[in-house]
Amino acid sequence: MHENTGSQRDAASTIFNLPNYRVTDAVDLLDGGRRVVIASTVPPGCPSCGVLAIKVHSRRSQQVRDVPVAGAVEVVWAKRRWFCLEPACARRTFWEATDQVPHRARSTTRLWDQVVSAVITSGRAASEVARAHGVSWWLVQAALAAAAVVLPDVDDVPVTRLGIDEHRYRSVRWFRTDEGAWKRFEPWMTTLVDLATGQVLGIVDGRDSTAVGHWLAQRSDAWRERIEIVAIDPSAAFRKALRTYLPRAAVSVDKFHLVKLGNDVVTTVRQRLARAHHGRRGRKDDPAWAHRMLLLCGADTLTPKAWNRLETVFRTDDPTDELSAAWGIKEQLRRLLATDTLAQAWDERMRMGYFAQIANMPEATKLYDTIVTWWDAIEVLVVTGAITARVEAANTGIKNIKRTGRGFRNPENYRMRILLASAARTVA
């Protein structure tokens, strides 16, 4: 005797696969669509007393938005109103509700889950997801807002290492002032990231100490006490906020930003020499300009051929030896940042100061003064190795979100999209 051990649902209900519902009817419409009628299989319990109902009061048909099943489908729920026969209960009747279609809902839970996954996990635009599922943009946005509500509170996230960096929220704008002059406006935002997991913890307007300080002030005392190290770029505004609200945390300056300052010195000197010696900007016929990217490469990464090209640049297009001096100071900074102990770092700093003094260039002097100003943070960098790499990775993901959405006009929607995407990546 054959005994069926599989699903006890009928074929249509199995294909439609909406939990706690069964398909009672399915018809083709004149416009080529389909209508599927469903009924709940969940025992109807009174929402007030919890007693199961056994007597139907009335019925009505409710259209429900659902995910496309082999194409667009019009879903109709044959909804029942039940009597509550419990004498002690004040509620006499109630409409049935399920996990998939809660009370007062007009869309299934699986539809909300699917549109959220399409936007956050797959990285699709909300408008494109709305068109694909046959719903409005507002429904997709409401689903995202509902998902953001259940995100864990920042104070409940155990963070010991914090990273801070800025990114541009929108493109540069120009505004005309009352005096008729044009004023440049750069809409910046600051990203705060857990360096251990890479999760974005917050997005604040601006990149000044006030914005970061306000966000830190909203955190609990216990949360701030757990912070041991904060990695930032060489920003005096960020450091001011940290000294005020995280006085016990050690501040580490990012290695990448310091190396960029060294590269900027080489570029500035090269441009200054081109104007001084040639009376114009650099051209492709000038060795220094033609090999401008080679000048920014680390010495430890150069091949023998690259070394030969670099020596040719210094020999033919550096009559004052200032360009080679700037390049040497940049390399000395790289050696300083590659040290493993504070004693080695101090020795390399002394050498860099000597090189800057011998070079006697304003660009080199300014770079060395920056190193001296941020020396405490550099020591923390040498000891802990804390950098803002995970913050930069988060900013790259933020740029992808902006590109997908073709920019954002509502900053709250922008923050919500970033926090949801970051939380999804962290969980994955």
Specify the pTM.
0.85
Asked if residue 143 belongs to a domain, the reply is: no
Do 237 and 215 belong together in one domain? Answer: yes
Can you give the CATH number for the domain in which 392 is found? 3.30.420.10
- In 208-303, where does DSSP find H-type helix? 209-217, 221-226, 236-245, 255-278, 287-290
* pLDDT for position 127: 93
At 24-71, the pLDDT tens digits run 999 998 888 899 999 999 889 999 999 999 999 999 999 999 998 888
Do 222 and 290 belong together in one domain? Answer: no
297's enclosing H/E stretch is none
The residues that bridge with 219 in the sheet, in sequence order, are none
If 0-12 CB within 10 Å is exposed, 13-18 middle and 19+ buried, where does residue 270 land?
Answer: buried
Asked if residue 148 belongs to a domain, the reply is: no
* pLDDT for position 2: 53
Do 63 and 14 belong together in one domain? Answer: yes
At 179-218, the pLDDT tens digits run 888 888 788 999 999 999 999 999 999 999 999 999 999 9
Domain range for 296? 255-384
Looking at the 3D structure of the chain, how many domains does it have?
3
Do 232 and 267 belong together in one domain? Answer: no
Asked if residue 132 belongs to a domain, the reply is: no
